[in-house]
């Protein structure tokens, strides 16, 4: 089957997230990198694009150039990924959606809920895909949890506990490190640092797995390292649409936790525990019975988990394959659209602009609550 | 050395906590069970006491009987443990302190802060020991954390994260199980269920290890299982006396977590993680370096941890030895007193009525905060 | 119930194994330390005994003194523990058995199979208990494995894999450390170092859990640290009485494994994995199903495991309680004998001289095999 | 940079290993699947090839057709992967090498050492790459171990312990399952089942990490499931070229171990432990110090490990990325050759025909030893 044309904005040389997107997009052979505006510097942008194998006329110097260049082509990109700094997501995503492109935007979709709402409505009006890269939702065992919750294996969900705590902002000496500094600068980072960067993934996971949204919350934000303008640790209590009680802790000060994204879901009939650092095992405890270790790739998992699983049980799969699952879903849906067919419903689980809106609205609500002494506010 | 005489109130036949106290007290050969009022039923009380090897005249039918009986003896008990239902702790502890006995009381020391304050003052006035059995503080690696914090290994402590989540109250069918039902009945359990039962241990651990107290807090209490009069899940944000930010989650709904008591401490220079279910390992991460697994019993630990450690590295020690450490400390202090000597300062780390007061005051503050929409309140 | 009188030979001040025995014997209140010959130095022996609370006339200066002293008493010790250097086990055990005492001997029961056979027959003739302290057999989940194998949960046992590897002999600088040096000196240690010290426990576990004995074996012994007269690493392939295939690795060079005693049992219908360093969890995988984590103390375990379990699920129990289980079994059997009753069959699972014989015979066979180029030999 | 042309033989629809190779080869954008003979059935072969996006004239019906087809082209494949049943590896690899292609062959390279030796010499004579896919050697932390051993961090290596035990052949009911049956049929599988299938990886790992070869060995092979013509469990003691003592256990009966490939390396100065099921952590214990958890992607690892690492620390990488590392190395070397440059030495760590020869020779020696009562034999 012919590969779809894929375009990438941002993700220049040395960018980790750019590499992860390229691996994710290419891994299944569904997409080929056909066009790119990879760097804020036009020359570096064109040079790196060419070195990645993009035809020179499609190795653009800027996203504006890329937009007009692609619009002029019949083989224009089938999907456009936005992996630029957060503050530019809105503008770029909006411009491409308005011109009829499918977009996958890095999180956060925008810097505030108002813009996110515009994107949601624009995508609906244009009937274009606007996906948001909550990449952890591509993990097979995350999809297993979602499927099990959906089919009632846990009964009513009582409590969801989400955590994203790492030591990424723990070094006070990083005050001069540009990769850290901008996070705590309100000008560049907006209203939140660690929630907007890390906690937002945990929030999305809580929603994705329970199939609910955050309705109300009470938050406490703390800034422990001197000189920072935004929070480096936060705790949020929340309630979800179907009544589930939520608990979220996120921190950048948790020295020793490399990438501590963890989800626990507790229903009437059983509980789940999943840790991103060991994504190939899911701990499932039916009420009153021993805990079981569900292995990715093992027999007996849901079709959703099986679909997202590539290699045999006992081998590890990691983050690049989770990303690849998002891309494969998008590829399937886009190919179906091009063929005038209905896409496989299993391919439509990728996070959307609506999820992006919910998340950023929750971040804003958390900031508002914290400012008012942890008062409960609506999202 | 002659064994000290030990008395036990409560902890009747089949009682888990009674067994744990008996093992803890006898394990080092410092105490012998000399007197007891073990059951609310006088006959069963005397019978079980005799079967445990207590002389028949000291196998009492009630604590009142025991108080007068022991007062009449020259070889009266050197330490009295109160392991009765929570609502009776105040009355019994008070009576024995007033009559000059050293007391070790199960947690919670009383049902409210006012009574706890009375006990604190009474113990001071009487110059008697009133210890409270926060038994987890007896674990060698918990003492290692406390010692390391004290000597500055972590620098300023930024965040402490304490968790006590298990599935112990997850079965809705337990509504008729008397061991569960009373917990959610305000008449018997007071103002709180899961915080007062489980979370209180995690709170004490946070204080014990950081050497601080909880100053202010914001709490969210949730009751997820229908028909319960008290909370079965809670989240608390707090601030401590030296400015440390605190996070606490406690739940009885966490199916799959057998006994999920966990402490994480994050300072400027490193982080700790310790889990009660695997108490012989402590994860220590110096800033910017790999995580180290500190094994109980290994060379290089603090004198506090070494003192609390019995068997060689690689063997497991468990909860009974943690209890035994509390008893050994008490035994050392009492023996020193009897000998007119100053006790080893290392023996004085056991939790006291003051700790008991702080904990119950924190529980009350959490309930007050939750009733006022998670408003921040002082402890 | 009155405590049984217990005597200890060896286990002087600072001895780890002596402390473990004292905790194990006293923990349940079944035994009290009534007599002892604790040190090779008579004065230190008497002094330490007195300090442990032994009456001065029973704080003996030597085991010979103790034997005649106790024989002269009506309240002579009900059980005698031998915790002296290995080379003296035979002589002391023999003397006490001949004089009608029940004996619990540290492993190895003797320095060679011929002597072990004599002990077995002597104990039988005298109708006295001669137990051997393979203390790991006291762990509740080890007894769970044994019970499950016995009742056929695994079907025919195909393979047993036992491992005892640690870094205890890894430091070449220990050549002058007397606690290490004697292990590699044929005069003091006999024919084997690491098998006789560590591997022997793993061998016993393999037999205890499968209910079989080692019939034939092929062994490879290696001495990696220069200057040692005996092996510091060994690998043994074996076959058991009911046809089970055995694999054993033992090493003193395994830096990073604190106390790596592990047992895996694989039958037609399922597999077990248990690790001594985390003794409160047993991994059980029924054929074709997810692995289950069986927690000590949880509902649904065998009566054998329940009996050996003290504190509630989720709390850790450790090595001292495993030892205590051996002592409690012995106490139950001795009390039944004194009362003229049949002991509880569940109390008779402690390892005996016969087990001690089998183990030492296996060690000798391994040495013989290794000397003949790993030739298969009979045990 | 232009992609290299890649050809695949075998790995038809539904083949797990075929999928893993495709992901591995395409992931970095170095290779594109340009030609294939993917199935033994010519029609299915062509059909599946086309569906994978291969031009129809290069979607061949057989490897013979592919060989002549590619020879006739100027843009012939730059690398040819052989992923057919083991018995055909020799013939196909030989044919392509003889015609000047670079080959990556699945393991085992051939069915016996004689043929493997021919391949080694043929590749040398032709000056072509003949790599063998011991894919686990592509894991970053495996390369970290190798690099650390090489630069002397562990001192002299005393013992290497390799294990590959899983439950893959545990179900006796699989006697009729063709995916299992052929493994135990001497006609199809040759002299060995579980060593040749699983243990061979562990053997290669032991050699790869220590930089040594197996010199002599003593083996015990067991067949536990009735009706099988070859071993389903094996234990091997060995000695390596620089004197390291080796231990290997491999089993297909180990129910509960999904994919139990584990390596432990013990030197004078420290020890390593690595488990394939959690490949992103390496346990490193310097003599006399606490164990450290080295995380893939963390600062301070060797250049070899850094090169093999793609995503940031704390994210998981899995088996597909290990495969991709082998492919990237091959791609780098082939590109350098095409450009007339010397390849980066770091790119030359992939396993070669020589490794393939060593492994299969070791398997044969193990079988010979077992047949002679575990006699020590030379490899």
How far is the C-alpha of D51 from the C-alpha of D58, rounded, in Å? 12
pLDDT tops 70 at residue D1: no
User: Which residue is closest to C170 within chain D, CA to CA?
Assistant: D268
Work out the minimum CA distance from B296 to partner chain D, whole angstroms: 11
Residue D128's pLDDT is: 97
Q: Do C295 and B258 touch (CB under 8 A)?
A: yes
Residue D16's pLDDT is: 87
User: Which residue is closest to C294 within chain A, CA to CA?
Assistant: A290
Q: Which of C171, C237, C285 sits opposite D256 (nearest CB)?
A: C285
pLDDT tens sequence across B71-83: 999 999 999 999 9
Q: Where are the beta strands (DSSP E) in chain B?
A: 4-10, 31-37, 79-83, 103-105, 130-132, 157-165, 214-222, 233-240, 245-251, 260-267, 270-275, 281-286, 291-295, 377-378
- The mean per-residue pLDDT over the stretch B264-280 comes to 97
Residue B1's pLDDT is: 60
Residue B3's pLDDT is: 85
B-C CB pairs within 8 A amount to 116
Share of chain D above pLDDT 70, in %: 100
Chain B residues whose beta carbon lies within 8 Å of the beta carbon of residue C312: 16, 259
C273: β partners: C264, C283
DSSP label at residue D99:
T
Chain B residues whose beta carbon lies within 8 Å of the beta carbon of residue D298: 290
Chain A residues whose beta carbon lies within 8 Å of the beta carbon of residue D316: 276-280, 316-319
Query: Touching check for A174 and chain B: CB below 8 Å?
Result: no
Q: Do C170 and D251 touch (CB under 8 A)?
A: no
Under the banding of pLDDT at 50, 70 and 90, the label for residue B53 is: confident
Which D residues, 135 through 154, put their C-beta within 8 Å of a C-beta on chain A?
none
Work out the minimum CA distance from D285 to partner chain C, whole angstroms: 5
Q: Do A321 and D318 touch (CB under 8 A)?
A: yes
User: Which residue is closest to C26 within chain B, CA to CA?
Assistant: B27
Helix residue ranges, H only, A236-352 = 303-307, 319-338
Coil/strand/helix, residue D246: strand
Q: Which of A249, A266, A286 sits opposite B247 (nearest CB)?
A: A249
Q: Where are the beta strands (DSSP E) in C254-306?
A: 260-267, 270-275, 281-286, 291-295
Work out the minimum CA distance from B272 to partner chain C, whole angstroms: 20
Query: Touching check for B228 and chain A: CB below 8 Å?
Result: no
Query: A13 and A19 in contact (C-beta within 8 Å)?
Result: no
pLDDT tens sequence across C194-232: 999 999 999 999 999 999 999 999 999 999 999 999 999
Q: What does each of the 379 residues of chain A score in pLDDT, given as a tens digit?
A: 678 999 999 999 988 899 999 999 988 878 999 999 999 999 999 999 999 989 999 999 999 999 999 999 999 999 999 999 999 999 999 999 999 999 999 999 999 999 999 999 999 999 999 999 999 999 999 999 999 999 999 999 999 999 999 999 999 999 889 889 999 999 889 999 999 999 999 999 999 999 999 999 999 999 999 999 999 999 999 999 999 999 999 999 999 998 899 999 999 999 999 999 999 999 999 999 999 999 999 999 999 999 999 888 989 999 999 999 999 999 999 999 999 999 999 999 899 999 999 999 999 999 999 999 999 999 9
Under the banding of pLDDT at 50, 70 and 90, the label for residue C54 is: very high
Site from C153, C272, C290 to mutate, A interface, most A CB atoms within 10 angstroms: C290
How far is the C-alpha of C236 from the C-alpha of C234, rounded, in Å? 7
pTM to 2 decimals? 0.96
pLDDT tens sequence across B329-372: 999 999 999 999 999 999 998 999 999 999 999 999 999 999 99
Under the banding of pLDDT at 50, 70 and 90, the label for residue D14 is: confident
Residue C279's pLDDT is: 96
pLDDT tens sequence across B239-248: 999 999 999 9
Query: B255 and B261 in contact (C-beta within 8 Å)?
Result: no
User: Which residue is closest to B32 within chain C, CA to CA?
Assistant: C29
Q: What is the dihedral of CA A240, A205, A291, B16, to 10 degrees?
A: -50
Work out the minimum CA distance from C13 to partner chain B, whole angstroms: 13
| Cα dist from C195 to C165, C367, D111, whole Å | 10, 9, 38
What is the side-by-side order of every strand in the sheet holding B130-132? B31-37, B4-10, B79-83, B103-105, B130-132
Work out the minimum CA distance from A314 to partner chain D, whole angstroms: 5
User: Which residue is closest to D286 within chain B, CA to CA?
Assistant: B292
Site from A33, A163, A318 to mutate, D interface, most D CB atoms within 10 angstroms: A318
Neighbours of chain C (3+ CB pairs under 8 A): A, B, D
Q: Which of D20, D51, D279 sits opposite A311 (nearest CB)?
A: D20
Query: D88 and D190 in contact (C-beta within 8 Å)?
Result: no
- Token readout for D242 is 């620089």
Residue A179's pLDDT is: 87
Query: Touching check for A260 and chain B: CB below 8 Å?
Result: no
Neighbours of chain A (3+ CB pairs under 8 A): B, C, D
Higher pLDDT, A53 or D157: D157
Query: Touching check for D374 and chain C: CB below 8 Å?
Result: yes
Work out the minimum CA distance from C47 to partner chain B, whole angstroms: 11
How far is the C-alpha of B222 from the C-alpha of A159, rounded, in Å? 9
Site from D18, D23, D32, D54 to mutate, A interface, most A CB atoms within 10 angstroms: D23
Chain D residues whose beta carbon lies within 8 Å of the beta carbon of residue B290: 284, 292-295, 298, 300
Q: Which of A53, A166, A280 sits opposite D1 (nearest CB)?
A: A53
Q: Which of A22, A28, A277 sits opposite D314 (nearest CB)?
A: A277
Query: Touching check for A134 and chain C: CB below 8 Å?
Result: no
Residue C200's pLDDT is: 97
Chain C residues whose beta carbon lies within 8 Å of the beta carbon of residue A291: 292-293, 295
* DSSP strand pairing (B281-286 vs B270-275): antiparallel
pLDDT tops 80 at residue B2: no
Average pLDDT score over chain A: 95
Coil/strand/helix, residue A292: strand
Residue D179's pLDDT is: 87
| Cα dist from D321 to A328, D34, D327, whole Å | 18, 21, 10
Chain D residues whose beta carbon lies within 8 Å of the beta carbon of residue B284: 290
- The mean per-residue pLDDT over the stretch D173-178 comes to 90
Q: Do A287 and B251 touch (CB under 8 A)?
A: no
Q: What is the length of chain C?
A: 379
Q: Which residues touch A114 (CB under 8 Å, ≥6 apart)?
A: none
Query: Touching check for C241 and chain A: CB below 8 Å?
Result: no
Q: Do B233 and A172 touch (CB under 8 A)?
A: no
Query: Touching check for C255 and chain B: CB below 8 Å?
Result: no
pLDDT tops 80 at residue D35: yes
Query: Touching check for B27 and chain C: CB below 8 Å?
Result: yes
Work out the minimum CA distance from B87 to partner chain A, whole angstroms: 30
pLDDT tops 70 at residue C79: yes
D6: β partners: D33, D79
Chain C residues whose beta carbon lies within 8 Å of the beta carbon of residue D174: none
pLDDT tens sequence across B157-172: 999 999 999 999 999 9
Residue D227's pLDDT is: 93
How far is the C-alpha of C187 from the C-alpha of A71, rounded, in Å? 89
Cα-to-chain-centroid distance, residue B378: 23
Chain D residues whose beta carbon lies within 8 Å of the beta carbon of residue C220: 218, 237
Chain B residues whose beta carbon lies within 8 Å of the beta carbon of residue C29: 22, 26, 33, 52-53
Residue A1's pLDDT is: 60
pLDDT tens sequence across C261-310: 999 999 999 999 999 999 999 999 999 999 999 999 999 999 999 999 98
pLDDT tens sequence across C332-363: 999 999 999 999 999 998 999 999 999 999 99
pLDDT tens sequence across A79-122: 999 999 999 999 999 999 999 999 999 999 999 999 999 999 99
Q: Do C319 and B319 touch (CB under 8 A)?
A: no
Q: Do B320 and C321 touch (CB under 8 A)?
A: yes
Residue C53's pLDDT is: 87
Q: Do C256 and D291 touch (CB under 8 A)?
A: yes
What is the side-by-side order of every strand in the sheet holding D79-83? D31-37, D4-10, D79-83, D103-105, D130-132
Q: Which residues touch B102 (CB under 8 Å, ≥6 apart)?
A: B78, B79, B80, B128, B129, B130, B131, B330, B334
pLDDT tens sequence across C14-25: 888 999 999 999
Which A residues, 274 through 303, put their C-beta within 8 Å of a C-beta on chain C?
284, 288, 290-295, 298-300
Q: Do A1 and D320 touch (CB under 8 A)?
A: no
pLDDT tens sequence across B206-219: 999 999 999 999 99
pLDDT tops 80 at residue C160: yes
| Cα dist from B118 to B101, B113, B306, B354, D280, whole Å | 16, 9, 35, 10, 55
User: Which residue is closest to C49 within chain B, CA to CA?
Assistant: B1
Under the banding of pLDDT at 50, 70 and 90, the label for residue C28 is: confident
Q: Which residues touch A276 (CB under 8 Å, ≥6 apart)?
A: A136, A139, A259, A260, A261, A262, D314, D315, D316
Under the banding of pLDDT at 50, 70 and 90, the label for residue C1 is: low
Helix%, strand%, coil% for chain B, nearest 5: 40, 25, 35
């Amino acid at each position: 089957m012919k590969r779809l044309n894929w375009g990438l904005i941002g993700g220049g040389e040395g960018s980790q997230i750019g590499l992860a997107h390229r691996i994710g997009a290419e891994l299944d052979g569904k997409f080929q990198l056909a066009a790119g505006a990879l760097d804020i510097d036009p020359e570096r942008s064109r040079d790196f694009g060419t070195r990645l194998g993009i035809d020179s006329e499609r190795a653009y110097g800027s996203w504006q150039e890329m937009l007009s260049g692609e619009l002029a082509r019949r083989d224009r990109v089938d999907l456009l990924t936005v992996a630029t700094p957060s503050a530019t997501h809105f503008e770029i995503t909006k411009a491409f959606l308005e011109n009829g492109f499918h977009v996958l935007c890095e999180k956060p979709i925008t810097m505030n809920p108002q813009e996110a709402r515009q994107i949601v409505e624009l995508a609906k009006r244009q009937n274009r895909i606007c996906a948001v890269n909550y990449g952890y939702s591509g993990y097979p065992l995350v999809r297993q949890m979602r499927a099990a919750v959906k089919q009632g294996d846990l009964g009513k969900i009582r409590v969801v506990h989400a955590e994203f705590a790492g030591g990424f902002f723990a070094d006070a000496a990083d005050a001069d490190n540009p990769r850290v500094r901008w996070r705590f600068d309100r000008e560049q980072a907006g209203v939140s640092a660690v929630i907007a960067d890390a906690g937002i993934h945990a929030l999305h996971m809580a929603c994705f797995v329970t199939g609910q949204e955050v309705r109300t919350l009470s938050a406490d934000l703390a800034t422990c390292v001197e000189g920072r303008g935004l929070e480096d640790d936060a705790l949020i209590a929340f309630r979800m649409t179907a009544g589930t009680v939520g608990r979220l802790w996120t921190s950048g000060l948790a020295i020793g936790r490399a990438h501590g994204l963890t989800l626990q879901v507790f229903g009437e009939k059983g509980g789940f525990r999943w840790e991103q650092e060991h994504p190939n095992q899911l701990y499932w405890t039916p009420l009153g019975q021993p805990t079981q270790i569900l292995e990715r790739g093992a027999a007996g998992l849901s079709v959703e988990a099986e679909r997202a699983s590539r290699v045999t049980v006992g081998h590890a799969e990691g983050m690049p394959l989770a990303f690849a699952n998002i891309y494969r879903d998008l590829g399937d849906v886009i190919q179906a659209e091009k063929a005038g067919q209905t896409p496989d419903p299993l391919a439509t689980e990728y996070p959307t602009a609506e999820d992006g809106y919910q998340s950023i609205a929750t971040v804003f609500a958390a900031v508002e609550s914290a400012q008012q002494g942890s008062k409960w506010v609506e999202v």
